[in-house]
Amino acid sequence: MKIAVLPGDGIGTEIVAEAVKVLNVLDLKFEMETALVGGAAFDAHGHPLPEATLKLAMDSDAVLFGAVGDWKYDTLDRPLRPEQAILGLRKNMGLFANFRPAICYEQLVGASSLKPELISGLDILIIRELTGDIYFGQPRGRRVATDGHFPGAEEAFDTMRYSKPEIERIAHVAFQAARKRKAAGFEGRVTSVDKANVLETFQFWKDVVSEVGKEYPDIALDHMYVDNAAMQLVKEPKRFDVVVTGNMFGDILSDEASMLTGSIGMLPSASLNSKNQGLYEPSHGSAPDIAGKGVANPLATILSAAMMLRFSLNQAAAADRIEAAVQQVLAQGLRTGDIYSEGTTKVGTAQMGDAVVKALR
Ligand code: IPM
Ligand code: MG
């Protein structure tokens, strides 16, 4: 089992170190190789996704990824910005299916800004299409004024685009996930989120998802506009089971959903291709404002490592053990700053990782 470890920037190095610690106490044989990515790779090699890093990722069974980005790179040409590393990995590896489960652990009900009764027992799955949409549409660019009056660009544009096979394959992923969840006692419902009332791309999305849905008569399908979905997520989040949507809406809604769990520091993610090769990363970013301080929450990354064991490495039992260990440290009252509430014990990044290791042992 070969794992490419790509910590990246900001808090990425700190949180990935804790996940690696956790992996190392399992009685499993991994080959782990670390490489630079994002701003760190730009600083060292002049490119956010060096050829060697991409090759390592492509040749591995799974990638454990931290986060990329820092404000200091904001003035670079877009192809050289840290974010292009994660987008390049997703595109080159064909990681079209992004799973972002939002689960509210009972111990964290009080850490959310929402009323406890709204989120207690919450367990929903957001499935975000990850290699299409406006993120990867062509053409894109800026138009420069021609009358000489305005120096520089006058307008900018990106193109929203989805092909039928792209929508079909993510729809199948969503229906199959809902079927699996139904077998485990969930409702068996897919909510497809679109903006069909305004955008042609998302009328098409809706039509194709409906068509695929006919192959899954055991699964309920409903459609929701993205603005309404944003509202329903905070109004009545437990009405959802599996949510499937495009790249852009999925980016936004998954950040929103993370707060239903208490903190974005809790939200893991898996990005899979058709060969079950996967990239596993916390849903949060590099948080340069708290980088190097040892206060970041490593649990999203540790839980991402559990998803990696389950989805790409065929080690479901080890994944269960990690998830149980995380529950245990939460039950012990240990909290990083982002999930701290009165009466609990505030710990740093490494202490949290150590506690998970101890619980595993
Ligand atoms: C995410 C992030 C990325 C995205 C950025 C870092 C490119 O926000 O994984 O959600 O927009 O997909
Ligand atoms: Mg995002």
Which domains are present in the chain?
A: 1-96+273-361 (3.40.718.10), 101-133+159-265 (3.40.718.10)
Q: Best of 73, 81, 251 to mutate for ligand 1, by most ligand atoms within 8 A of CB?
A: 251
- Per-residue pLDDT of the chain in tens (361 residues, 90 and over written 9): 999 999 999 999 999 999 999 999 999 999 999 999 999 999 999 999 999 999 999 999 999 999 999 999 999 998 999 999 999 999 999 999 999 999 999 999 988 889 999 999 999 999 999 999 999 998 888 877 666 555 677 888 999 999 999 999 999 999 999 999 999 999 999 999 999 999 999 999 999 999 999 999 999 999 999 999 999 999 999 999 999 999 999 999 999 999 899 888 999 999 999 998 999 999 999 999 999 999 999 999 999 999 999 999 999 999 999 999 999 999 999 999 999 988 999 999 999 999 999 999 9
What does 138-176 look like in DSSP terms, one character per residue? Answer: S--EEEE-SSSSS-SEEEEE------HHHHHHHHHHHHH
- In this prediction, residue 286 carries a pLDDT of 97
For the chain, how are helix, strand and coil distributed in percent, rounded to 5?
Answer: 45, 20, 35
- In this prediction, residue 147 carries a pLDDT of 61
What kind and span of H or E run contains 22?
Answer: helix 12-24
**CA 247 to ligand 1: nearest atom:** 12
- Nearest ligand (C-alpha, residue 87): 1
Is 255 assigned a catalytic role? yes
Residue 158: CB partners within 8 Å, gap ≥ 6?
134, 137, 140
- Nearest ligand (C-alpha, residue 285): 1
What is the number of residues in the chain? 361
φ and ψ at 274, to 5 degrees?
-75, -10
Cα distances from 286 to residues 4, 66, 326, in angstroms, run 19, 8, 22
Is 338 assigned a catalytic role? no
- The pTM is what? 0.94
Distance from CA of residue 68 to its chain's centroid? Answer: 13
Is 70 assigned a catalytic role? no
Contact between residue 60 and residue 313 where contact means Cβ atoms under 8 Å apart: no
Q: Which listed residue (105, 135, 216, 280) is catalytic?
A: 135
CA of 251 to the centre of ligand 1 (A): 7
Single out the residue of 343, 325, 326, 344 nearest to residue 335, CA to CA: 344
Contact between residue 168 and residue 132 where contact means Cβ atoms under 8 Å apart: no
Contact between residue 272 and residue 278 where contact means Cβ atoms under 8 Å apart: yes
**CA 90 to ligand 1: nearest atom:** 12
What does 69-131 look like in DSSP terms, one character per residue? Answer: --GGGTTS-GGGSTHHHHHHHHHHHT--EEEEEEE--GGGGGGSSS-HHHHTT-EEEEEEE-S
Distance from CA of residue 283 to its chain's centroid? Answer: 4
